[in-house]
Structure 1
Amino acid sequence: MSPFILLSIIIIYFALLLWVAYKTGKGSDNESFFIGNRKSNWMLVAFGMIGTSLSGVTFVSVPGAVGKDSFSYLQITLGYLIGYIVVAYVLLPLYYRLKLTSIYGYLQQRMGQLSYKSGAWIFIVSRLVGATARLYLVVNILQITILDSLGVPFIVTTLIILIMIILYTYEGGVKTIVWTDTLQTSCMLLGLIICTVYMLNHLDLSVGQSLTAMNDKGYTKIFEFDINSPGFFIKQILAGAFITITMTGIDQEMMQKSLSVTKLKDSQKNMVTLGFILLGVISLFLYMGGLLYLFGQSEGGHITEIIKDGIPKKEFLLNGKDIFGDKIFPEVALNHMPGFISIIFIIALISALFPSADGAMTALTSSICIDIVGMKDKPWDTKKKEKFRKNVHLIVAASFLVMVVIFKIINDNSMIGLILKLAGFTYGPLLGLFAFGIFTKYKVVDKLVPYVCIAAPIISYFIDKYQATLFGDFKIGLELLIINGLLTFFGLWLIRKK
């Protein structure tokens, strides 16, 4: 498929996004930007949040990880469902009762000003790292598959995509994103289904036959029963639940959309519905991952194991090129499938890219304006507040550019693993802060809270680094997030007021 044709498809798709933004952003103000005037339809929010929750990382990394981890990611997904139920019936009633625009306002009311600022800063760092890691993955794929051949540098590609996102979020914010996310989620899921159906037809397999073939290759294994393994099923399910509670329930970006729904009951329906839909969608992603490896093998590819730096590592060689992990879906879709599938893949990929980036930029802008600067309490007129918010939005976009370049330098082979690992360090203090606030009645020495929030991730890092010395054969995986949260909770307990 010609790079010019694929680039033209991206431009047409973006023009459609701009048209939707123009239609939905009319008459927007700061309240529209931050929480959509609390008039969003819960069904639209639930459907659009699928795209935000999945992102380009899920679209590429989850299918690619099947070659290494089989269907074990489903263990984490079962935990996600538990987490969404907790968010719906524990956290959302709290947020609605307090009529919060920023959920970190709860920490201000419960613990104090510095606790509030600490929570907001942790969110800003966490979301900046997570969103830019997701953005990097998709930008890098577009760079390698299309723009390298056109001589466009990576940094220019990133800059253009960020300008695109700014253009359609600049005015409407959440009010616009609720609609653009719905469009993008539709395109992403449609692309997933079409690619899956094509591979089944090409391989001449029924769903049952394909599952049998995957089982013969060892791809369908879900549960890990070795208690010492980082993939032990109880660890994974618990980690999945706490990842959802932190990365959704105490994350301003995700809650910003839920709080834009008028009624609490509708917002709860949105959250529980999202949990069940994600379980089904991620199952389909894993199934497609198995198909990708079967398809690659039918084209002459094979998995081999090598030793690199003394560590066993798997490769999937196709035409002499290693396409294991994140590389397999782009390589197969763009170079081993018909042109119309390549177009569908690119549309689905950029549809997965935008929801995870646009919502993050909007949420970070909101948190900086409301939580850090305290814009709502400033004696500024409406015009000055709007101008300040737009300037902050541009600064956030610039920070995205810097972070994407950093991830380009790191260049990790499986971004889903890296993102979940980073979440364990960055979201742990938020988990501890909210848990302490909700489950105890103690006040804390507010001025000491930032020190606790810095110490907990540092201790967690050393626990993770030296876990072999500390625990022997027992390996810590994603439950590092829970450990980090417990350390924060314990630190807050030590500085509680009598």
Structure 2
Amino acid sequence: MAPGILLSFIITYFLVLLVIAYLTSRKSSDNSTFFIANRNSKWYLVAFGMVGTALSGVTFISVPGKVGAPGGDQFAYFQFVLGNALGFLVVALVLLPLYYRMKLTSIYEYIEKALGPVSYKTAAGIFLMSRTIGSAFRLYLVVIVLQRFIFDTYHIPFWLTVLISLGLIWSYTYKGGLKTIIITDTLQTLFLVTSVFLTIYFICSTLDFNIPQAFEAVKNSGYSKIFFVEDFVTSKFHVSKQLIGGMFVTIAMVGLDQDLMQKNLSCKNIGEAQKNMLTFTGFFVVINLFFLSVGALLYLYATKNGIAIPIDAITGKPRTDFLFPEIALNYLSTLPAIIFMLGLTAATFATTDSALTALTTSFCVDFLHFDKKPEQSAQMVRTRHWVHIGFSLLMFLVIIVFNSINDAAVVSAIFTVASYTYGPLLGLYAFGLFAKTRQVNDILVPVICVLSPAICYFLNLYSAKLLGGYVFDNELILVNGLITFIGLLIFSSSKSSPTVNEIKAGKEMAV
């Protein structure tokens, strides 16, 4: 596939996004529009657009690649997806009503009322760090594909490819913010979903399969095992670990994450927000099953045509992340290659643009206290623009550093990082919700939130020796949250008789 053709389609794609940005922000680009889209988003657009945000380029490339990975992943990831679905239900039925009753712009304002100002800054800081790292990892995965298949041809260095990508994302999000993203993410999810279905169609055509034959081929391929019930202690794929891990990763990375919650809070009311979450959950489960099916078909195609897993230029090791782009761009025809690249670009930039907006919102509200200032001013808008630029540059630096040291599958790296960084958020929110009669020692909260991941790292490193061969997977996030909760409980005391204001605040926080 000629790099020039792919590049021309990507440029056209971004021009479309810029037009959408102009149309959505020309009448209003104030902070209310940027942060919460004036609380006037259509729930069905939010639900569909969130699919692209939640999936990202990681799902697009790494999930199909892991189906035939040497570790024997097969469809084990779908157990994690089912756990995600349980987590989405908790978010819709428990957390969303809380956020709407309190009329929050940043969800970390809840922690200030429940635990105190230091806890509040700690929670917001954890989000800023976690989301910056996670979004940088996701963008990194796509940029290395763009570099390998397009920009290397023009001798453009990797760092410049990253800078161009972030600059393009910044250009269509810095004015309209969430209002623009609700529309662009809907378009990008449409590209993503269409790409998945058309990829399945093209591969099936190449393998001379009709749909029933493709289903049978996947079923009998040796790649389609979903539920793993053997070796609870030593296998990270055991169904209970995956379900529990998927559920609590979702509660933390969605329900306690400003990014996806910001979109939910832009709906008109709690009813529409919950319809959005439940509809999104259905989309999410189905599309992930199709991604896994793409993976099985890719390995069947590779086996038939003698295609080996591509080698990473940095580590010299086989890299399953590259199998999908290798086949789509070098072995299929022009149209499948274009559709793949558009789907990949849409998946990743839907995640990154949303993350940059959420990071900017959290910093402006949680640290600069825009919500506590009586008027929207031109100076505040300019400050928001500089914050937006600052997080774009920070993400750039994280990607450059990660590129210099990475030698693991990106999808595993992201959820490993999430297990450590999002775990304390679980503990903080759980304490606020279930220990209402206790007052935490606010000044010690940052220490507890650092020690908890450190203990978990130690447990994960030596679990086989300490716990009779037990191997942790994503359920480690629950352990992390539990350690944080216990730490908060130890350094807390019984609350004194509440004041009138505290009683009022408690009623607002009641679930």
Q: Same fold (TM over 0.5)?
A: yes
What is aligned with 1:10? 10
What is aligned with 2:344? 349
What is aligned with 2:165? 161
What is aligned with 1:24? 24
What's the offset of the Cα at 1:152? 0.5
* SS in structure 1 at match of 2:154: coil
Tell whether the 8 Å contact from 1:56 to 1:135 is kept in structure 2 after alignment: yes
What is aligned with 2:475? 479
Kindly indicate whether residue 126 of structure 2 is the aligned counterpart of residue 122 of structure 1: yes
What's the offset of the Cα at 1:206? 3.0
Q: Determine the C-alpha separation between the residues in 2 that align with 1:4 and 1:467.
A: 50
What's the offset of the Cα at 1:409? 1.2
* SS in structure 2 at match of 1:443: strand
Kindly indicate whether residue 441 of structure 2 is the aligned counterpart of residue 464 of structure 1: no
Tell whether the 8 Å contact from 1:84 to 1:245 is kept in structure 2 after alignment: yes
Task: Name whichever of 3-12 and 375-384 sits farther off.
Answer: 375-384
* SS in structure 1 at match of 2:353: helix
- Unmatched runs of 5 consecutive residues or more in structure 1: 303-314
Give me the identity figure in percent. Answer: 45
- Which of 85, 89, 92 aligns to 1:85? It is 89
What's the offset of the Cα at 1:147? 0.4
> Can you list the C-alpha shifts for 1:26-77, whole angstroms capped at 9, x where unaligned?
2121001011110000000000000000000000000000002000100001
What's the offset of the Cα at 1:376? 2.9
The one-letter code of the counterpart of 1:5 is: I
The one-letter code of the counterpart of 2:446 is: P
Tell whether the 8 Å contact from 2:193 to 2:343 is kept in structure 1 after alignment: yes
What is aligned with 2:270? 264
Matches within 5 A, 1:213-362: 213-226=217-230, 227-228=232-233, 229-301=235-307, 324-362=319-357
What is aligned with 2:444? 448
Which consecutive aligned stretches of 4+ in structure 1 deviate over 6 angstroms post-superposition?
none
Q: Determine the C-alpha separation between the residues in 2 that align with 1:472 and 1:466.
A: 10
What is aligned with 1:423? 418
Tell whether the 8 Å contact from 1:131 to 1:357 is kept in structure 2 after alignment: yes
The one-letter code of the counterpart of 1:266 is: E
What is aligned with 1:305? none
The one-letter code of the counterpart of 1:155 is: W
Tell whether the 8 Å contact from 2:221 to 2:296 is kept in structure 1 after alignment: no
Evaluate the alpha carbon distance shift between residue 412 and residue 269 of structure 1 in structure 2; reply closer, same or farther with a 3 A threshold: farther
Q: Determine the C-alpha separation between the residues in 2 that align with 1:40 and 1:328.
A: 38
What is aligned with 2:59? 58
What is aligned with 1:306? none
* SS in structure 1 at match of 2:228: coil
Q: Determine the C-alpha separation between the residues in 2 that align with 1:477 and 1:323.
A: 23
* SS in structure 2 at match of 1:49: helix
* SS in structure 2 at match of 1:67: coil
The one-letter code of the counterpart of 1:464 is: N
Tell whether the 8 Å contact from 2:310 to 2:322 is kept in structure 1 after alignment: no
What is aligned with 1:310? none
Task: Name whichever of 152-161 and 216-225 sits farther off.
Answer: 216-225
The one-letter code of the counterpart of 2:44 is: M
> Can you list the C-alpha shifts for 1:102-150, whole angstroms capped at 9, x where unaligned?
0000000111100100100000011011100000000110000110011
Kindly indicate whether residue 379 of structure 2 is the aligned counterpart of residue 373 of structure 1: no
Tell whether the 8 Å contact from 2:65 to 2:295 is kept in structure 1 after alignment: yes
Tell whether the 8 Å contact from 1:325 to 1:413 is kept in structure 2 after alignment: no
Q: Determine the C-alpha separation between the residues in 1 that align with 2:473 and 2:345.
A: 30
Q: Determine the C-alpha separation between the residues in 2 that align with 1:274 and 1:330.
A: 27
TM-score, structure 2 normalization: 0.92
> Can you list the C-alpha shifts for 1:231-251, whole angstroms capped at 9, x where unaligned?
110110011111110110000
Q: Determine the C-alpha separation between the residues in 2 that align with 1:215 and 1:469.
A: 37
The one-letter code of the counterpart of 2:25 is: G
What do you get for the CA RMSD once the two structures are aligned? 1.5
Tell whether the 8 Å contact from 2:51 to 2:189 is kept in structure 1 after alignment: yes
- Which of 399, 404, 407 aligns to 2:402? It is 407
* SS in structure 1 at match of 2:295: helix
What's the offset of the Cα at 1:316? 7.0
What is aligned with 1:434? 429
Q: Determine the C-alpha separation between the residues in 2 that align with 1:211 and 1:341.
A: 20
Tell whether the 8 Å contact from 1:71 to 1:221 is kept in structure 2 after alignment: yes
What's the offset of the Cα at 1:210? 2.8
Evaluate the alpha carbon distance shift between residue 159 and residue 145 of structure 1 in structure 2; reply closer, same or farther with a 3 A threshold: same
Kindly indicate whether residue 198 of structure 2 is the aligned counterpart of residue 198 of structure 1: no
Tell whether the 8 Å contact from 2:64 to 2:324 is kept in structure 1 after alignment: yes
Kindly indicate whether residue 485 of structure 2 is the aligned counterpart of residue 489 of structure 1: yes
- Which of 172, 176, 181 aligns to 1:177? It is 181
What's the offset of the Cα at 1:15? 0.2
Tell whether the 8 Å contact from 2:259 to 2:358 is kept in structure 1 after alignment: yes
Tell whether the 8 Å contact from 1:211 to 1:220 is kept in structure 2 after alignment: no
How many residue pairs get aligned? The number is: 483
Evaluate the alpha carbon distance shift between residue 299 and residue 34 of structure 1 in structure 2; reply closer, same or farther with a 3 A threshold: same
What's the offset of the Cα at 1:209? 2.8
What's the offset of the Cα at 1:324? 4.6
What's the offset of the Cα at 1:467? 1.1
What's the offset of the Cα at 1:410? 2.4
Q: Determine the C-alpha separation between the residues in 1 that align with 2:419 and 2:406.
A: 20
What's the offset of the Cα at 1:471? 1.2
- Which of 62, 74, 94 aligns to 2:98? It is 94
What's the offset of the Cα at 1:379? 7.0
